[in-house]
Amino acid sequence: MRILIISQYFWPENFPINDLAKGLRQKGHHITVLTGMPNYPEGRFYPGYRAFPIKRERYEGIEIVRVPMVPKGSGNVIRMLLYYWSLALSACLIVPISFRNRVDLVFVYQPSPITVGLPALVLKAMEKTPVWIWVQDLWPETLAGTGMVRSSFLLKLTDLLVRWIYSNCDRVLVQSQAFGPRIVKKGVPRERIRFLPNSAQEVYKTTVVESDAPERNLMPQGFRVVFAGNIGRAQDMPTILSAAEKLKQDTDIHWVILGDGPMRAWVEERIKARGLEKTVHVLGRYPEQAMPRFFSLADVLLATLKKDPVFAITIPSKIQSYLACGRPIVAALDGEGARVINESGGGVAVPAGDADALAEVILKMHGMPKSDLERMGRLSREYSEMHFDRNTLLDKLDGRIKAEVGP
């Protein structure tokens, strides 16, 4: 089957859609990805890319069509609007030219932004091509939760756009079961909604790191609490730093931040201002292939989200990655993410925004016997295999596509 994936992000940017596209290709489908020029999270084009013209590439047997766009830049509201809308409008113009009579299914990957659904609906209007959208973030709730948009008028306008896009999609796939009722309230019939969680991507697995591996030299000595991913508003970095400050006298406990994002400079400034240089370490961004190696060197993996109703119904994709690597997890978040971690037996979740509770549980785990931490790691891995196995979820998606769209 000829499947067109439309996404704001794609390889070499690190998102779950990369692995899903590769998996569908392995199932025998012809996959084309319509996307922009990679610039996430720094907001600058990766080396070898520029705004114009259209760029065509191949990755793991997948055809990639990259459209002209404005990069994210500093991430202020104006630049984000230009970033989102420039890709959407470019894709809307290119779809009628490049994809007429070439597509059996359009699969939209929608973390942020919702505008990525517009070119899919252009193709549907032209050729009645079915459109499936995989919802990772709820809009406009996420915009309000992060504080990116405060205008009630803009939020209502965005909600109208979301309702229109969802109502015109043939299937709405949700990464969290808790998204379902919210999608129904936006006017989508319940029978159109299907649950498709993020899987543990192929690269994430338990790993043994050699004694002379370079990652060992990058990591501090002691009890390592590792946070990985975007350093942004939603990730509630202030709670991490407040918890680290409460424990800074215990110099054996080290907080390691792997990643990049719009709040990285703020985090580095606050580390200096609070005198946390000895115990909090920002190592920057590394290739996805290196992450399981860093995770294997962690005593505890850390996940945080801001305290907001929309984040309480979200499962951050890093949770699946953490579980698959078989390490204990500590999280400061609410709702679905907390449920998964506590249910796994491989970690402990404290309430979002509670720096005291986060510091307390880290101190408790620091004092645990190594055998207890190893047991938690095994439970994490077992839960991952039971609920988020990549091949199982791919089989289900592939079967659903063939049953509902055609062989």
- DSSP assignment of 300-365 equals EEEEE--S-HHHHT---THHHHHHHTT--EEEE--HHHHHHHHHHTSEEEE-TT-HHHHHHHHHHH
Q: Is residue 236, in this structure, part of any structural domain at all?
A: yes
Tokens of 86: 């420039």
In a domain, 234, yes or no: yes
Instruction: Name the band, by pLDDT with cuts 50, 70 and 90, for residue 61.
Output: very high
Q: With bands split at pLDDT 50, 70 and 90, how would you rate the model's confidence at 42?
A: confident
pLDDT at 339 > cutoff 70: yes
In this structure, the answer to whether residues 139 and 184 fall within a common structural domain is yes
pLDDT, mean of residues 330-339: 96
Residues 175 and 72 in one domain: yes
Q: Given pLDDT bands bounded at 50, 70 and 90, which one contains residue 145? A: confident
State whether 229 and 324 are in the same domain: yes
Does position 75 have pLDDT exceeding 80, yes or no? no
- Is 245 found in the same domain as 182? no
Could you tell me if 34 and 91 are in contact, meaning their C-beta atoms sit under 8 angstroms apart?
yes
Indicate the number of domains in the chain: 2
* Same domain (yes/no): 242, 277: yes
DSSP state string for 210-241: PTT-HHHHHSPSSEEEEEES--STTTTHHHHH
For residue 205, being part of any structural domain is answered with no
Establish if 207 belongs to a structural domain: no
Does residue 282 sit in helix, strand or coil? strand
- Residue 211: per-residue pLDDT: 85
Q: What is the pLDDT of residues 193-236, one digit of tens each?
A: 999 999 988 889 998 888 888 999 999 999 999 999 999 989 99
209 inside domain: no
Q: Are residues 160 and 295 in the same domain?
A: no
Q: What is the pLDDT of residue 406?
A: 76
Q: Are residues 225 and 360 in the same domain?
A: yes
Residues 55 and 175 in one domain: yes
Q: Are strands 62-66 and 131-135 parallel, antiparallel or unpaired?
A: unpaired
Domain presence at residue 208: no
Q: Residue 347's domain spans which residues?
A: 214-387
pLDDT confidence tier of residue 407, bands split at 50, 70 and 90: low
CATH number at residue 71: 3.40.50.2000
Q: How would you write 115-126 as a 3-class SS string?
A: HHHHHHHHHHHH
Q: How far is CA 253 from CA 226, 273, 304, 359, in A?
A: 11, 19, 18, 11
Does residue 90 sit in the same domain as residue 191? yes
Cα–Cα distances in angstroms (integers) from residue 263 to residues 131, 132, 135, 233, 279, in the given order: 35, 33, 25, 7, 19
User: What is the predicted pLDDT for the residue at 150?
Assistant: 86
Tell me if 246 is assigned to some domain: yes
For 247-273, the pLDDT digits (tens) are 999 999 999 999 998 899 999 999 999
**pLDDT(347) > 80:** yes
Task: List pLDDT tens digits, range 79-113.
Answer: 989 999 999 999 999 999 999 889 999 999 999 89
C-alpha angle with apex 130: 128 to 135, nearest 5 degrees?
140
Name residue 134's beta-bridge partners: 109, 173
Let me know the angle formed at the C-alpha of 134 by 130 and 137, rounded to the nearest 5 degrees: 140
Judgement on whether residues 383 and 317 belong to the same structural domain of the protein: yes
Query: Do residues 235 and 94 share a domain?
Result: no
Q: How far apart are CA 200 and CA 213, in angstroms?
A: 24
Are residue 237 and residue 359 in the same domain, yes or no?
yes
Confidence grade of residue 345 (pLDDT, cut at 50, 70, 90): very high
User: Is residue 223 in a domain?
Assistant: yes
- Candidates 361, 363, 365; CA nearest to 351 is 361
| Among the listed residues 303, 319, 301, 110, the one whose alpha carbon sits nearest the alpha carbon of residue 198 | 319
